[in-house]
Amino acid sequence: MPRRQVVLVTGCSSGIGRAAALEAAARGHRVCATARDIGSLSDLEGRPGIRTLPLDVTDAASIAAAVSAALSGEGRIDALVNNAGFGRYGAVEEVTVADWREQFEVNVFGAVAMISAVLPAMREARSGTIVNVSSVAGRIPIPFASPYCASKHALEAVSDALRVEAGAFGVRVVVVEPGPIESRFSDRARQGVSALLGRPGPYSDVYRNAESAMRKEFQAGVLPPEAVARVIVNAIESPRPKSRYAVGRMPRVLFALKRVLTDRAFDRAMRRALKMR
């Protein structure tokens, strides 16, 4: 029987974060479920094993307050699930620098700030698990989603360095790489691509093809968030978790192709999918 742990999860308003909080609580762990909008967690408040806290990962004071509340209320934090994030879409040259900064502010700097906030207590306990929720995009660059891909690539690089740094203190670092997930995140992703349709410019035709490809992709390979949540909690409970967990068929297929194809061949496959010359 796995020992009861205190698990802090970011981005629990929907999707993977909410599912992870529910899965961990169902297995007997004590969960601090967080979200920027605390009202979005009202239905979780009062559930056995779950405590809700407001948390904006881009606000240092909010992070400090949430981590302090978790430590004072539970006595420790055994696991951090860095899940909060969003996706920004468009061609590299058409995404503003401000939008690029916002993407990294949440997906990378927010995760790093959370890690910095929980690591002192984990180091002192010489125990803990940090789960960074990446994506298939963390290893496979997807055209017209470069801000999101770049942020997840950066999160994976942080994880690889941190795994060695924190490992000396008994802290494990795990990366989870899901394929498409049926959640509000997926809805927002489709809306983000759809918003590009009709925009005049050199990429207008390709945006239509990208939107069509995304529709087919989500219909064919979508996973429920609960599937990812089970992998996350399994990793937290494991005495020896893997460094990376690819979740779903799409990541496994694309990662295998990336290993055997040259960059030129992989680029051709991407262009064919997007009906580009």
Judged by DSSP in three states, 129 sits in strand
Tokens encoding 264: 């030129």
Report helix angle 263-273 to 249-260, nearest 10: 140
**How many other β-carbons are positioned within 10 Å of the β-carbon of residue 209?**
15
Cβ partners under 8 Å of residue 91, min gap 6: 143, 144, 146, 203, 206
| 13 given a catalytic annotation | yes
CB 169 within 8 A of CB 122: yes
Judged by DSSP in three states, 238 sits in coil
- The residue whose two tokens read 């690029």 is 100
89, 134, 135, 186: the catalytic one is 134
Q: What CA–CA distance (Å, rounded) separates 198 from 67?
A: 44
For 100, list phi and psi in degrees, rounded to 5: -60, -45
89, 146, 151, 152: the catalytic one is 152
Question: How much is the CA Rg of the chain, to the nearest whole Å?
Answer: 19
Label residues 82-116 b or e (16+ Cβ within 10 Å = b).
Answer: bbbbbbbbbbeeebeeeebeebbebbbebbbbbbe
146: alpha, beta or left? (left if phi > 0; alpha if psi -120 to 50): alpha
Cβ partners under 8 Å of residue 43, min gap 6: none
| 134 given a catalytic annotation | yes
135, 146, 148, 203: the catalytic one is 148
Q: Which residues are catalytic?
A: 13, 134, 148, 152
